[in-house]
Chain A
């Protein structure tokens, strides 16, 4: 039997495009061009630093917001509107539906990031009038941001497979915030004693370690990223997303669609 994953993924992508999700690019473009013009006028030497920091942070935040707001409705909205009935009554297995949705959302975010990246490079060129070799490091930061999106997409899908959109949004945002400060959680675990140490250590390993993906500041300062970190982050993101998606599939496989 042929897989339905590509069809479900492309329909998810089409839905995002038609629901004008990519319109966020306009807001992003306005923000970045405004910032570039502003820093070009008020700062000396640090324009590039500001543009890279602001641009990449905006790419990450815009993407996370989209991943959560689309992701939380991917399954629950289909159940609520009963569009899922005519899909699952066809030769489509439930796991294919979840994986297809995941790839559709990940694809949307990758395309979105691609256009935003063009915006970042354009702003960078506007303030520094040329590109240097170190600017290629921005690609590493963008790659890490996409890896981060894969985890956020999988988490949103997991929550969407059993919870309402509102609760899913709360869970996903909470995990994103906690995950962004996971280094602090690990430090706390190191300092704690007894049961709280065990609990904090467990939580630190359970929540996604988003801080490992944040290399924006070091890249803005033209500091290179170790190849080992790239490999480590790639494996971590793929493993984490796969685990979370397995959980979503497991829940969805046994769920009654009332």
Chain B
């Protein structure tokens, strides 16, 4: 494919949402500040933020469920309001609730009809999707008898039923047990493998770290940072982790100011990068078996918390200054 034909899956151009609140609806409350974001074709993109950060507002805007105060977006190269776009996207809302008088199969049949999937293909896809989300055995059961985790699976099923090019998941791991979470992760990776773009919001950072090519961190309606997970987590703060066998800590290593943690069979020491050689020499002198030396990486969680704290502090100092 020639480079000029590759277009981003999502281009958000200054989408903004302000609600009018209060009794007379005259008090503005900004739910989303002008948002600029680009999600590339075929990537898994994580939209991270604490509760109330503006993640769901962004997704609702993109789905046309609420209307922006200003700004626009392009999805799969077309205006996001174009009804034709919706045939190519899938959406799983947060804590989904479905028509509980329907069975899983009937629900998928209904959504397949609404998505314009032809009859024969629809029946084939329903069977395939029910198998994929592990609901084949309960396909004839009314949804009112489903657990929260099962409903989440139905939600994922309806989002991928029509084989969309782009899938939006709002908190997809919510309500799932560890096995369920693992299955959703696998499913997302499979979608990526099939060439689809996945945009998902979450506040579970380990999921984002494990899955995402890139993430955006949003806080109080404002995007604080967008980048590849590796870029955000590789900011080595001049520290290395040295692990050796045994439970003995040489005095010379203690003297280097290392932070040591002893477990049953090994010692883990965090120390300055500059003292790495001195530590290795000390271990050799004491004939201790070195297991590994690795740079300390900031976890996404640490990065996220620091970024949010920094944002809070900046906001506080600005408010204080005013």
Contact = CB atoms under 8 A, between A and B. Distances in A.
The 4 residue pairs across chains A and B that have the minimum distance between CB atoms? A89-B91, A18-B101, A256-B66, A89-B63
Interface residues of A, number: 27
Nearest to B155: A86
Contacts of A89: 63-65, 86, 89, 91, 93, 168
Nearest to B17: A256
Nearest to A87: B114
Interface string A1-40: 1101001100100110011000000000000000000000
A7 B113 contact: yes
Nearest to A85: B93
B65 A11 contact: no
Interface of A: 1-2, 4, 7-8, 11, 14-15, 18-19, 81-93, 254, 256-258
A30 B98 CA distance: 35
A89 B63 CA distance: 5
A79 to B, nearest CB: 10
B97 A83 contact: yes
B303 interface: no
A85 B89 CA distance: 13
Interface residues of B, number: 33
A1 B95 CA distance: 30
A14 B113 CA distance: 15
A200 B168 CA distance: 53
Interface string B72-107: 000000000001101101011101111101100000
21 contacts: A1-B84, A4-B113, A4-B114, A11-B110, A15-B101, A19-B101, A81-B97, A82-B93, A83-B99, A85-B60, A85-B96, A86-B91, A86-B155, A86-B158, A89-B86, A89-B89, A89-B91, A90-B87, A91-B86, A93-B83, A256-B67
B246 interface: no
B110 A1 contact: no
B116 interface: yes
Nearest to A78: B99
A150 to B, nearest CB: 25
B98 A7 contact: no
Given A1-B84, A88-B63, A89-B93, 13 more contacts: A1-B83, A1-B116, A82-B93, A82-B95, A85-B91, A86-B96, A86-B98, A86-B111, A89-B89, A91-B84, A91-B115, A91-B116, A92-B86
Given A4-B114, A83-B98, A92-B114, A257 B87 contact: no
Interface in B102-159: 102, 110-111, 113-116, 155, 158-159
A86 B97 CA distance: 9
Nearest to A19: B101
Nearest to A84: B65
A84 B60 CA distance: 12
Contacts of A8: 114
